Amino acid sequence: MVRNHYEHLCDHHDARATTVRQQTMELSEFLTGVLKVEKVKGQFAYQVGLHQSCHGLRALRLGLSSEVMQPRENYVQNLIGQFEGLRFSQLTRKDECCGFGGTFAVAEEGVSCMMGDDRINDHVKAGTEVLTAGDMSCLMHLEGIIRRRNIPMRVMHFAEIMAEAIDH
């Protein structure tokens, strides 16, 4: 959001604000693009459902969205997919929106909840044990639905999975 949508909040001639916008990165993008992390060893013996946030896919291009017919690396999947024992859930709609969308979840609460239910149902059907993403707002929304429905599924940011897997 900082990189793509905050320009109107700052003075266009402020070099510091421009630098901040240009240098702000999502974590998986930073790990793979700046630090050049390629090999990560660890163990995480769970079936993981990867939620692709709309903003991550469509604004930051952190993975392949279905409407773009071009190959694209998925940074999070490449990073955590190396862990011993980790299996990815095969979702029927792998890039479907969770329904959070910031103020959308407030203005359209019913629609937002139905969209979140659809995402969780896809993960349950696919056997997801741990739901992950790089977007905390999506994870908070989906975890709220999981808790209300008493579904035995953990929710972890991909950085938490990396920390647990490497520490293991």
Q: Kindly report the CA angle at 29 between 58 and 167, in degrees rounded to 5?
A: 125
Confidence of residue 24 (pLDDT cuts 50, 70, 90): confident
Q: Note whether 95 and 77 are within 8 A (CB).
A: no
Q: According to the model, what pLDDT value does residue 110 have?
A: 82
Q: Is the pLDDT of residue 57 over 60?
A: no
The dihedral formed by the CA atoms of 49, 50, 53 and 54, expressed in degrees to the nearest 10 = -90
pTM of the model: 0.83
Q: According to the model, what pLDDT value does residue 139 have?
A: 94
CATH number of 35-167: 3.40.50
Instruction: Give me 105's structure tokens.
Output: 């979840």
> For 4-19, how does the pLDDT look when each residue is reduced to its tens digit (9 = 90+)?
666 777 766 778 877 8
Percent of the chain residues past pLDDT 90, beyond the cut: 46
- Give the C-alpha separation, 89 to 125, whole Å: 9
- Element spanning 76, H or E: helix 75-80
Average pLDDT of the chain is 84
Q: Note whether 55 and 101 are within 8 A (CB).
A: no
Nearest CA among 102, 136, 144 for reference residue 119: 144
Q: According to the model, what pLDDT value does residue 98 have?
A: 74
Q: Domain segments of the chain: what residues? A: 35-167
Q: Is the pLDDT of residue 29 over 90?
A: no
Residue 119 to residues 24, 146, 163: CA-CA distances in angstroms? 29, 10, 25
Q: Note whether 45 and 130 are within 8 A (CB).
A: no
